[in-house]
Amino acid sequence: MHYGIVHYGTDPKNLSQIAKSPIKLNTDHSSTVFRVRLDDLKPGITYYYTVDSMEANDTGDGVMISVHHFTAAGALQQPQAATRKKPSQK
């Protein structure tokens, strides 16, 4: 068993939060796609992350990408109703 791991946080030098997902490696493919859930993200905050993988015994595979970043989307807002004024009479 292998795990796909995302290390993330708000400081690119301290990616202390971890999300992981079990993955099945296919040796016939040079890459693997996996998904994880990043919890407790705050709207408008920039997060930094890197991706890694490891074996079930916590031995890293040594495959880690450079640090990337994204900004969490803001809270959804309800559209405001438009008001229309009647034209003034002359």
pLDDT tens digits, residue range 9-63?
A: 999 999 999 999 998 878 788 788 889 999 889 999 999 999 988 888 878 777 7
Q: Please tell me the distance from the alpha carbon of residue 3 to that of residue 78, in angstroms, as a whole number.
A: 39
What pLDDT shows up at residue 15? 95
Match domain 2-71 to its CATH number in 1.10.260, 2.60.120, 2.60.40, 1.10.3470. 2.60.40
Give the span between the Cα atoms of 21 and 50, in whole angstroms: 14
- Please say if the pLDDT value at position 90 is more than 90: no
Looking at residue 83, what is its pLDDT?
45
pLDDT of residue 46: 95
Judge contact between 2 and 53, C-beta under 8 A: yes
Model-level pTM?
Answer: 0.73
Q: What's residue 8's pLDDT?
A: 96
Distances, alpha carbon 58 to alpha carbons 33, 76, 84, in Å: 20, 39, 63
Please answer whether residues 3 and 56 qualify as being in contact, where contact means their C-beta atoms are separated by less than 8 angstroms: yes
Taking the C-alpha atoms of residue 41 and residue 23, their distance in angstroms, rounded to an integer, is 24
